[in-house]
């Protein structure tokens, strides 16, 4: 079954590369069918990553400890909810979860703008797929969650896994990472539109109106995720505070600060045409 997941990821990576070139060539060679094929590739990538994620979740829930990822982040005694959250409990799984979220956002963007921004959308698609190809490439060639445990020439089944860290088996940690990821990944969309507006030399306010709504939603996800993380730190770690100014916390709060600033400055551009350069820097 792990072969299905690995193959799905590989096909998704290949389609992401195809979508990049199809979107760019289709725009500059004025071949609309290539642009359409790139957009359809986005939908196919989402389907493939959904299949790969479903495979990994199934392997985690069923305790297939032949896989290194399952053995490292799950065990027989874990409640089902934490077996599910082990999907993003380690580096390999979190990369797959991140990629699936980005593919979901990309598919929604392509579908919702299928009749708008037609001169800009091929570049938006190419930028989104370039970002996605990087993460899928990491899964494919560096950190695959579908790697089996090997000893000599045989496959090892260890019988039980190490389990998820007890610190992570807390209800807020079941939803804290998804909210953070929804926020972090979501800002790829305003970034793609901002870069596309520069490349196509269309620095108007039309794309601002569209991306501001995206920014508000993703900012809410970020805020919820950071708040849940603070509550977890106070309740579980028990060091007497909600926040500690160390690199881990700072890495979490800096995107929130810049996104908050972007939300305010983007309204200035939309209403008064001000702070255009500042918005590009922030996004």
CA distance linking residue 252 with residue 244, whole number of Å: 11
Does residue 82 or residue 154 have the better pLDDT? 82
pLDDT at 37: 96
The single residue listed with the structure tokens 């874990």 is 78
pLDDT at 209: 77
Average pLDDT over residues 173-193: 90
Average pLDDT over residues 51-65: 93
The single residue listed with the structure tokens 């000893």 is 151
pLDDT of 238-261, one tens digit each? 665 666 666 766 777 888 888 888
pLDDT at 146: 93
> Would you state the structure tokens that stand for residue 181, as one six-digit string?
């990821």
Residue 154 pLDDT > 60: no
pLDDT of 217-243, one tens digit each? 999 999 998 888 888 777 776 665 666
pLDDT at 276: 65
Does residue 201 or residue 157 have the better pLDDT? 201
Q: DSSP assignment of 132-144, as one string? A: HHHHHHHHHHT--
Question: 63 — alpha (psi -120 to 50), left (phi > 0) or beta?
Answer: left
From 247, 32, 235, 239, select the one nearest 118 (Cα to Cα). Answer: 32
Average pLDDT over residues 109-116: 89
pLDDT at 114: 84
pLDDT at 102: 97
How large a percentage of the chain has pLDDT more than 70? Answer: 84
Least confident of 25-34, 78-87, 162-171, 254-263: 162-171
Q: Domain-by-domain residue ranges, the chain?
A: 1-163, 170-283
CA atoms within 13 A on the CB side of 148: 15
> Would you state the structure tokens that stand for residue 103, as one six-digit string?
């593919």
CA distance linking residue 231 with residue 166, whole number of Å: 16
Write out the H or E segment, with its range, that includes residue 151.
strand 150-151
Q: What are the C-alpha distances in Å from 176 to residues 173, 221, 251?
A: 5, 10, 15
pLDDT at 194: 86
Question: 150 — alpha (psi -120 to 50), left (phi > 0) or beta?
Answer: beta
């Amino acid at each position: 079954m792990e072969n299905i997941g690995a193959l799905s990821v590989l096909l998704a990576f290949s389609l992401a590369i195809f979508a990049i070139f199809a979107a760019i060539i289709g725009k500059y060679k004025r071949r609309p069918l290539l642009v359409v094929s790139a957009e359809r590739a986005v939908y196919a990538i989402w389907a493939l990553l959904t299949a790969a994620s479903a495979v990994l979740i199934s392997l985690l829930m069923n305790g297939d400890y032949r896989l290194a990822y399952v053995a490292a982040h799950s065990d027989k005694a874990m409640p089902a909810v934490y077996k599910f959250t082990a999907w993003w409990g380690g580096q390999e799984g979190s990369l797959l979860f991140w990629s699936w979220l980005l593919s979901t956002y990309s598919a929604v963007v392509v579908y919702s703008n299928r009749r708008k921004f037609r001169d800009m959308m091929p570049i938006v698609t190419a930028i989104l797929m370039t970002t996605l190809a990087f993460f899928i490439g990491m899964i494919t060639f560096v950190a695959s969650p579908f790697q089996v445990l090997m000893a000599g020439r045989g496959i090892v089944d260890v019988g039980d896994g190490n389990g998820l860290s007890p610190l992570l088996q807390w209800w807020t940690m079941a939803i804290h990472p998804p909210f953070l990821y929804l926020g972090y990944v979501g800002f790829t969309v305003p970034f793609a539109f901002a870069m596309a507006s520069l490349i196509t030399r269309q620095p108007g306010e039309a794309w601002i109106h569209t991306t501001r709504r995206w920014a508000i939603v993703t900012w809410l996800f970020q805020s919820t995720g950071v708040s849940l993380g603070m509550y977890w730190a106070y309740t579980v770690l028990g060091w007497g505070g909600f926040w500690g100014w160390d690199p881990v916390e700072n890495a979490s709060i800096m995107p929130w600060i810049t996104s908050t600033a972007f939300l305010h400055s983007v309204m200035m551009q939309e209403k008064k045409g001000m702070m255009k350069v500042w918005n590009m820097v922030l996004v």
